[in-house]
Chain A
């Protein structure tokens, strides 16, 4: 975390942190995850950026 005197930067511009041309839409459809009755997109994981050591598609 980047701390100045009054503000701690917890996360810096993650929506802009795109390291490859996106719109691959290879990530999970929200209703295939554990929601089923409400769209939860913010907590889905990007197929390109996701950590390696986990179940992989």
Chain B
């Protein structure tokens, strides 16, 4: 009854917390209550937990705690029952347009194999992009908001097609609410490009791994030379241009070799960036991949980052994407049990028009679902993805305390690391869990301090802040 998969207990920076998994309730506990709940989960017996607490803290305290905990259980705040949910009928709403299977960089960790996804360099033609937009618009019944991310390789190598595609979508499907994003290494940015993107409400993800020493370890040109000096001023200019409006994230990748993430994120913040994201690399390459022995370092790093993040908000508010956990306005339970929608609600299109379940599957021939001209032909595979998107179809996820935060994890990571979209990538899961704990701590502290962190959601229109 008092199962660990129902209430997750964790200490953080000398404080104690409980998350009620099924209701999402977050509690800050004193040490005696934490001890009591730990014993309750270990022994599955109120009587034994009470006796052990009595031995350590005395009868009066043990009684008070037991009464409080009983009240919380009665109110459905601790050890609550599962929320009501059902398997949603996922309908296409989101597309990654890989407009360039080519890149002017040669980043050493790139999952796209230096931009061409293991094939030949190629740019998407406008005809293919147009067919992709038609496919998205016509295969998303009932969806008013449609999302398109221009991706690569480096999508700005094909800016004319990006531009024409945005104009085509808006003009042709006026009844749709188009939400555009572009992910770029920043090297080809110009005032003209940024002005077009800004004027068309295109959100932008700018790749930068940290300061020059960190960034230039892996983000290099094809000749091995670091890219920081070229991209930093351009990325900074976009961030300054969007300082008031938001609609951008500076996004980095960290590796086994660059685990000092608290310093990296704070460096990015000190450069003046307001919206920052930093993700672990996912690869099997020995020198780069995150190892099990790195996890204890990362746990300390996320803890350090959370503390520094909270402290720095007192001077000037800013946003670290992975701590951006809204305790009240977070997603509904239906969203939380259906993950990213890869292969069904979300697809990626390569330059020749092939459809893949997501951008990370692009180029993996056996995962091709069809193409934008004839539609989905491998319906069996799509059905498999539909099933894999449902949290409770993944055995290990169904009993994990973090299930309603990560929603079953990344199917591409599972495939790359385990060869099976149903089998979670263990190291990724551990990182996800430590990030969630840090985010919950941050949410608690910011609420206690009465600080509201600025939020921006990519692909939004700027109407409300103009």
By a beta-carbon cutoff of 8 Å, the part of chain A in contact with chain B is 1, 4-18, 22-23, 25-46, 48-57
Contact = CB atoms under 8 A, between A and B. Distances in A.
Given A16-B23, A57-B177, A57-B461, A41 B335 contact: yes
Interface stretch (B124-132, B296-304, B337-345, B363-371): B337-345
Contacts, number: 252
B339 to A, nearest CB: 5
A44 B335 contact: yes
Contacts of B90: 25
Contacts of A46: 329-332, 335
Interface of B: 20, 22-30, 32-33, 61, 64-65, 68-69, 71-72, 76-77, 80, 83, 86, 88, 90-91, 93-94, 96, 111, 143-145, 147, 149, 177, 179, 181, 183, 205, 245-247, 249, 251, 253, 275, 277, 279-282, 321-336, 339-342, 345-346, 358-360, 404-410, 412-413, 428, 431-432, 436, 439, 443-444, 447-448, 455-465
B295 to A, nearest CB: 15
Contact of A10 (B443, B455, B461): B443
Contacts of A31: 94, 96, 149, 340, 342, 346, 358-359
B94 A29 contact: yes
Contact of A45 (B145, B275, B455): B455
B321 A35 contact: yes
Contacts of B149: 31-32
Contacts of A23: 86, 88, 332, 334
A49 B111 CA distance: 35
Given A11-B25, A32-B179, 16 more contacts: A6-B29, A6-B64, A7-B29, A8-B27, A10-B443, A10-B444, A16-B76, A22-B333, A29-B94, A33-B321, A36-B359, A41-B405, A45-B455, A49-B328, A54-B465, A55-B465
Contact of B329 (A6, A30, A51, A57): A51
Contacts of B322: 40, 43
Contacts of B24: 11, 13-16
